[in-house]
Structure 1
Amino acid sequence: MKNKIKTLIVSSLIAAGMSSLAHSAENYPDSPVRIIVPYSAGGGSDSVSRALAEALKPEFPKGIAVENRTGGAGSVGMSYGMHAKPNGETITMVAPELVMLPHSGNGGDIDYKKFTPLAIVNSGYAAITVPADSPYKTLGDLIKAAKSKNLLFGNSGTGSIWHLAGVGMEKAAGVQFTHIPFKGSSAAITSLLGNHLDAVSVSYAEVASQVKAGLLRTLVVLAPKRLADAPNIPTAKELGFDVAIGTWRGYCVPVGTPDYIVNYLTDAILKAANSAEFKSFMAVSNNDVDIIGPKEFQEKLDRENKFYKELISTL
């Protein structure tokens, strides 16, 4: 009799748990959702995330918004998202810094294995850009000057992908720049516009509007081939420097997030990234749409973690 009662109790508890799970799955998202962007407002990561959030709004009736948490070349925001409750209310935008910073000693406690990847929506490559009135008209001019002058090179933070891009350029050219870190690309670009820097290494998309307005001039892109939206700008490889470094922007949730939430978010992001609204924004802002699902995203993280571990150990 006791065993029978125990079995009934266990069965009831299991049924109740399944009912609760189904109820949760049926009602998600039943509260506002935020996307943590670990870089400053106005930069490429911020603008892409805001465009994605706008395209996601139909799937989030309680609201979805971007929240910037800057510092540590992205580690502050990524750590915050990593430690968030795994309830689907916090999505974190991540970039190569997630697997780069821990190997440089600047990553705090971030660990890519504590995230569940959802999708990547964008990728882009570094561009070396100077003020429009700079005396350096070509990459050759810049490299020549660096051999005798202390050139100030701005980036989006120590240990960031754009810092690494600048380091990669100087190593390929056999010169040395003075790297100046900022809390995001937009701050570095603002300083460049004020003629406080000689150059910046950030993505072309982040400087494209100022280049087209005649305020800045991009000397070279660190890409495998010329960019479709900047066909007149040469690649470093064309100019004899074997260096190509770029970024990507993806979205994750903390490990432990229920599968039904992970699936919902993944499907919603893939749908939004394929929307005409998002693609139109990306085209206008000179950003390349590059959509990668969760399985390939995880493989990319594993692969780049190994790559940057080996690369950074040589710097």
Structure 2
Amino acid sequence: MKKALVLMLVCILMTVAFTGCAQETGTSEGQETSDYSKWPQKTIQIIAPYNPGGDTDFNARAYAQFLTEELGQPVVVSNVNGSGGVVGSRTVKEANPDGYTVLFMHPALLINELAGTADYGIEDFEYVATSGVVPGETITVHKNSGFKNLEDLIKYSQEHPGKINVSADMATMTHIMALQLQEAGANINIVSAGGASDRVAALLGGHIDVIINSYGTIADYLETGDFVALGQTNLERSKGFPDIAPAKEQGYDVYFEKYYFFAMPKGTPQEIINRFSEAVKNVSENPEYADMIFKSYRQTPLYKPAKEGLEDILRIKEDIQIFKEHFM
């Protein structure tokens, strides 16, 4: 009888202990989920892989300003320049996948991979959202050149082979567009003059003949008449500068869609990705944000969720494969 009673008590104690452990485990799992729901709890760092002063830096900072309001934590931009964007993108790729280090970039990441300067691609990140698009890079010359359109430039280059120097940041989108100019018949030299702000300085100083820059970086000089825009690289005229004809409209296949996007390290929890993407969408619909980017770069807001945005990027990746031999 006593033995039976002791055995019963042991069973009851084991049952209580097991139930307690199960409840404790359940609490732990619930806490982990709750932690994701509480994200963010500290400063978020956006890595812009280029120097301050260019269009990528501007757009990253414009978003950071409004994302701080959306997410309730500071969102700061760090410029991590080097190797045409590789240093910055690698910094994010190797960061902890906790949602506190975010890449802000564009299809230059694809060209880095194509050129072999990066041994990884967009598939090695968690694509968060497409957050904007450049309304056409602008093919620009100094007023002293006398060129009025792309036909003038190409004709002169053919009559004076090797005399025209076009600046392009090697293994980037500007390099692709400079190669497209060559394929369109321009007899030009492609040389490096640094990032967007460096190229502007080089053109002003007469050290380069042609630059391919976003509108915002050259707008002031177009207004003063120091620079002349020969064409832009979107397929259609921009609402922001409708007087600048696309190269395609002028009969030349020089075009490239420059989408900005956010990406996070591989393995970042989907709950965090969704929350950040939602915040990006809200910013893109904010009239103050729209006014800021239009005044500075003649941009209009664009947001695409991960699946749709990634499809665009992968299409561009396929399109640029024809230039691979130029980077080998």
- Whether the TM-score (by the shorter chain) exceeds 0.5 is yes
| Contact 1:73–1:183 (CA under 8 A) maintained in structure 2 | no
Aligned to 1:15: 27
Aligned to 2:171: 159
Aligned to 1:117: 127
Aligned to 2:85: 74
- CA distance in 2 between counterparts of 1:265 and 1:182 reads 35
- CA distance in 2 between counterparts of 1:240 and 1:307 reads 19
- CA distance in 1 between counterparts of 2:317 and 2:20 reads 49
- Deviation, 1:104, is 1.7
Is 2:37 the partner of 1:37? no
Q: Deviations over 1:61-106 (max 9, x none)?
A: 3311111111111111111111111111111112111222211222
- Deviation, 1:314, is 5.2
Equivalences, count: 310
Paired letter, 2:222: V
Alignment of 1:3-152 (within 5 A): 9=21, 12-22=24-34, 24-106=35-117, 108-124=118-134, 125-147=136-158, 148=160, 149-152=162-165
2:223 to 212, 215, 219: 212
Task: Give the TM-score, by structure 2 length.
Answer: 0.87
- Taking only aligned residues, the RMSD between alpha carbons, in angstroms, comes to 2.1
Aligned to 2:200: 189
Per mean C-alpha deviation after superposition, the further-off stretch among 299-308 and 188-197 is: 299-308
Aligned to 2:269: 258
- CA distance in 1 between counterparts of 2:24 and 2:193 reads 57
Higher helix share: 2
Q: Structure 1: 5+ residue runs without aligned partners?
A: none
Q: Structure 2: 5+ residue runs without aligned partners?
A: 1-10
User: Percent same amino acid among aligned pairs?
Assistant: 25
Per mean C-alpha deviation after superposition, the further-off stretch among 5-14 and 194-203 is: 5-14
Per mean C-alpha deviation after superposition, the further-off stretch among 291-300 and 203-212 is: 203-212
Taking structure 1 as reference, are residues 65 and 182 closer, same or farther at Cα in structure 2, changes over 3 Å only?
farther
Task: Please identify the structure whose Cα radius of gyration is greater.
Answer: 2
Is 2:247 the partner of 1:247? no
| Contact 1:237–1:243 (CA under 8 A) maintained in structure 2 | yes
Task: Give the TM-score, by structure 1 length.
Answer: 0.90
- CA distance in 1 between counterparts of 2:23 and 2:307 reads 35
- CA distance in 2 between counterparts of 1:122 and 1:110 reads 23
Paired letter, 2:165: L
Aligned to 1:237: 248
- Deviation, 1:112, is 1.0
